[in-house]
């Protein structure tokens, strides 16, 4: 309704104003139009628990006020300039963790489950390894996982001709300490 009133009052010239005879895009007005329209569609068609949370996008309407506060605008411009560098750093860290996840999958596949290793946290697949390494990077019980990855007989079944076994590898200490 809000956007309908704006269109009726200002017409499309409010969203695409003329500047020296050329159409110029008013990004703030278009952002406001899109956010309000998406919020309206979500409220209208998605009821209750089906909500996608797109209504929270209405808080982005505050961005239209940035021209009133040059200091905040300068901070956002600096953050935008450093965004590429930060994404590059995150990319390098992700590749590092991915390499460790692939190494962990190769070294510790099939290790006996215990207190640290469980159904949801194993090194049996690259995806599970990646999630487990992200968990250990936060410091969550990594020493228990390290000890279980290095489990040796008589606490596990050794491999023979017919079975793979579920023993760990003594390199688990080097693996987890170097990752941490």
Tens of pLDDT, residue by residue over 37-86, are 777 777 777 766 666 666 666 676 676 677 778 888 888 888 888 988 99
CA 151, 153, 155, 157 torsion-angle sign:
positive
| 128-138: pLDDT as tens digits | 889 888 888 88
Q: Contact at 8 Å (CB) between 153 and 127? A: no
Count Cβ atoms below 10 Å from residue 173 Cβ, excluding itself.
13
pLDDT of 98 higher than 70: yes
Spatial separation of the C-alpha atoms in residues 179 and 123, rounded to whole Å: 14
pLDDT of 126 higher than 80: yes
Residue 92, pLDDT score? 96
Record the tokens describing residue 45, joined without a space.
């068609």
Beta bridge pairs of residue 22: 19
Q: How sure is the predictor about 122, in pLDDT bands with cuts at 50, 70 and 90?
A: confident
Planar angle of CA 121, 127, 130, nearest 5 degrees: 70
Task: Tell me which residue of 179, 92, 77 sits closest to 138, measured CA to CA.
Answer: 179
**Segments in 109-179 forming alpha helices (H):** 126-137, 142-149, 172-179
Residue 15, pLDDT score? 62
Q: Contact at 8 Å (CB) between 164 and 110? A: yes
- Exposure letters 99-114 (e unless 16+ CB within 10 A, then b): ebbebbbebbeebeee
pLDDT of 24 higher than 60: no
Residue 34, pLDDT score? 78
Counted residue by residue, the chain has a size of: 180
Residue range 110-132: average pLDDT?
Answer: 81
Q: Taking every pair of C-alpha atoms in the chain, what is the biggest distance, in angstroms?
A: 85
């Amino acid at each position: 309704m809000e956007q309908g009133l704006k269109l009726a009052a200002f017409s499309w010239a409010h969203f695409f104003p003329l500047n020296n005879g050329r159409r110029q895009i008013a990004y703030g007005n278009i952002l406001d139009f899109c956010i309000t329209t998406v919020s309206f569609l979500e409220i209208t068609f998605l009821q209750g628990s089906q909500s996608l949370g797109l209504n929270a996008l209405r808080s982005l309407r505050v961005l239209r006020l940035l021209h009133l506060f040059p200091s905040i605008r300068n901070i956002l411009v600096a953050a935008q300039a450093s965004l590429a560098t930060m994404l590059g750093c995150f990319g390098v860290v992700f590749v590092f963790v991915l390499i460790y996840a692939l190494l962990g999958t190769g070294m510790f596949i099939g290790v006996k489950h215990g207190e640290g290793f469980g159904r949801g946290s194993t090194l049996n697949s690259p995806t599970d390894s990646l999630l487990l390494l992200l968990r250990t990077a936060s410091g969550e019980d990594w020493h228990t996982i390290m000890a279980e990855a290095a489990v040796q007989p008589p606490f596990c079944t050794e491999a023979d001709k017919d079975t793979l076994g579920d023993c760990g590898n003594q390199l688990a200490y080097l693996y987890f300490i170097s990752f941490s």
